Amino acid sequence: MYRTNTCGQLRLADAGKEVTLSGWVQHVRKMGGMTFLDLRDRYGITQIVFNNDTDAALCEAANHLSREYVVQITGKVAERSSKNPALPTGDIEIIASSLKVLNPSEVPPFTIEDETDGGDDIRMKYRYLDLRRPIVRRNLELRHRMTMEVRRYLDSKGFLEIETPMLVGSTPEGARDFVVPSRMNPGCFYALPQSPQTLKQLLMVSGMDRYFQIVKCFRDEDLRADRQPEFTQIDCEMSFVEQNDIIELFEGMAKHLFKELRGVELTEPFQRMPWADAMKYYGSDKPDLRFGMKFVELMDILKGHGFSVFDNAAYIGGICAKGAAHYTRKQLDQLTEFVRRPQIGAKGMVYARVEADGNVKSSVDKFFDQATLQQMKEAFGAEPSDLILILSGDDAMKTRKQLCELRLEMGSQLGLRDKNKFACLWVVDFPMFEWSDEEQRLMAMHHPFTHPKDEDIPLLDTKPEEVRADAYDMVVNGVEVGGGSIRIHDSKLQAKMFEILGFTPEKAQEQFGFLMNAFKFGAPPHGGLAYGLDRWVSLFAGLDSIRDCIAFPKNNSGRDVMLDAPAPLDDKQLDELSLEVVLPEKDK
């Protein structure tokens, strides 16, 4: 056999045993007549000792080993004279009696260590080497444990794991599809699913009652830290449920994951916040509640004092950073430049310090008397040593989003966004629709199968823009980790929804006739939720990006630099698929 034990398994109780280990050479150190080798596998590291005095040939062979050689070593377990408390195997070492090189290795392009000298691009090109680093391996182990706990929890709640197709029809709503040409149906295309949405609804029509799937989904959209072109959802659907039933069950799953994987016991119910309040007080539908700095609107206090920036604004609002009055003029200028960055877009920032005597000192003092500034201080509940930061603009929604970015930046600068602290909430009562300037029509904020709140259904005919949805997102530390909705199960209401979204009856039948027809055969009330597995793992691992909890991720351009994909097809393949490639001028 190649091994009797793994490199993370042996302890002091095993002293005196003859063992065989196999793995990769992590380090080789020569010290006098001794050579020490750290042998690594997925399970850990064990120190191997070669003694020149007892076996010079074996010691010489060990001296010719290099990093990442794959070797097999046999020897006797012994107590280490110089123990290493940082290693689980740090009390023992193996006195080698034989060495076999199973495979030599070239010098790797970067060090296989937690703190590596490899940049992102080189590590992605050699991802199979990057995965040898313990810090990356631990992320995949966490991902494995999470999927096992998800299955265990959902199985205990009566869910069936059912697979749905990867080759489906393209949908006109939402993000762009990845499409797959069909050789047997020239000129026709499959799409890779953005979500198994309609399929899981059909499973409810079929009487499956409770479905889940840990499923790959695909969206052809611009990338960022929490997005990849392919990602994994914990996708769920339930029949005969209302919104509260779903929220309670999946809040329970979140608490189960926190307890089992992070050792964090969350006993209180998660806060529920209407979407309108999230936008009003935090400028985001995924507010980070690990810290305060709730927005305060200042229109009534600061308008009409001769400061044209405020007098002409449609919105004036601010945040209060507790204990931050020590910020220097240089730091405040840097914050002003931060909000002026093109991706944020504010024109400037006003600040005010609450001084030790309670007076307020502002960057626009000449326009405001102390009585007005005291009113402002009271609106924030500010105290001496606090710093007030104010933004204004001619678009309330846009300015709140800018203030959100400023709030998050201050939270980071003041050390308030601790990755070991968790603030969980549900954002509920989303708008049913949002206006698209590009399409010049109302679009579904979630998807066209979301049920409107019962009390708002009459508004579909008169004021559809005011209709709220039976939709909900779970947010943890400012990250949307999942969301869902109660679904429409009535074919007439679904037809009405398509009408508002600009579908002709013929187009709706062409795209979604299979679903609308299914609703005519006794569809139960149903709803569901999808958690983002990648986001949950990155949250628990304390990562800023989902990339390092995915075995083989894409880079920021959506490319797999290891496989060199996507890549052109040769002419023979294109001919088989009845395709011709016409490149834009800039790509020729």
Q: What single string gives the DSSP state of each residue in 67-94?
A: TT-EEEEEEEEEE-SS--TTSTTTTEEE
Q: Would the CATH topology of 12-103 be identical to that of 138-272+425-549? A: no
Q: Which has the closest alpha carbon to 155: 200, 210, 199?
A: 210
The span from the CA of 290 to the CA of 494, in Å, is 39
CB 397, CB 275: distance < 8 Å: no
The span from the CA of 368 to the CA of 371, in Å, is 8
User: In this predicted structure, what is the pLDDT of residue 201?
Assistant: 96
Q: Report helix, strand or coil for 498.
A: helix
Q: Give the chain's residues under pLDDT 50.
A: none
User: In this predicted structure, what is the pLDDT of residue 507?
Assistant: 87
User: In this predicted structure, what is the pLDDT of residue 436?
Assistant: 84
What tokens does 479 get?
A: 């990250």
CATH class of domain segment(s) 12-103: mainly beta
CB 449, CB 197: distance < 8 Å: yes
Write the CA distances from 388 to 295, 337, 517, 567, integer angstroms.
11, 17, 57, 52
Query: How many Å is the maximal CA-CA distance in the chain?
Result: 93
Q: What single string gives the DSSP state of each residue in 369-381?
A: -HHHHHHHHHHHT
The span from the CA of 405 to the CA of 416, in Å, is 14
The span from the CA of 558 to the CA of 224, in Å, is 10
Q: How far is CA 97 from the centre of its chain?
A: 48
User: In this predicted structure, what is the pLDDT of residue 312?
Assistant: 95
What tokens does 446 get?
A: 């979630």
Token pair 């070492």 in the structure block, residue: 93
| Domain boundaries, given as residue ranges, for the chain | 12-103, 138-272+425-549, 291-417
Q: Which has the closest alpha carbon to 490: 498, 480, 482?
A: 498
Superfamily of domain 138-272+425-549: Bira Bifunctional Protein; Domain 2 (3.30.930.10)
Residue partners of 444: CB distance under 8 A and separation at least 6 = 173, 432, 433, 450, 497, 501
The span from the CA of 317 to the CA of 300, in Å, is 11
Q: Report helix, strand or coil for 150.
A: helix
User: In this predicted structure, what is the pLDDT of residue 145?
Assistant: 98
The span from the CA of 318 to the CA of 407, in Å, is 9
In tens, the pLDDT along 223-265 reads 776 789 999 999 999 999 999 999 999 999 999 999 999 999 9
Overall fold of domain 291-417 = Gyrase A; domain 2 (3.30.1360)
The span from the CA of 180 to the CA of 183, in Å, is 10
What tokens does 103 get?
A: 């495979």
CB 93, CB 48: distance < 8 Å: yes
User: In this predicted structure, what is the pLDDT of residue 174?
Assistant: 65
Q: How far is CA 129 from the centre of its chain?
A: 24
User: In this predicted structure, what is the pLDDT of residue 82?
Assistant: 92
Q: How far is CA 561 from the centre of its chain?
A: 22
CB 460, CB 500: distance < 8 Å: yes
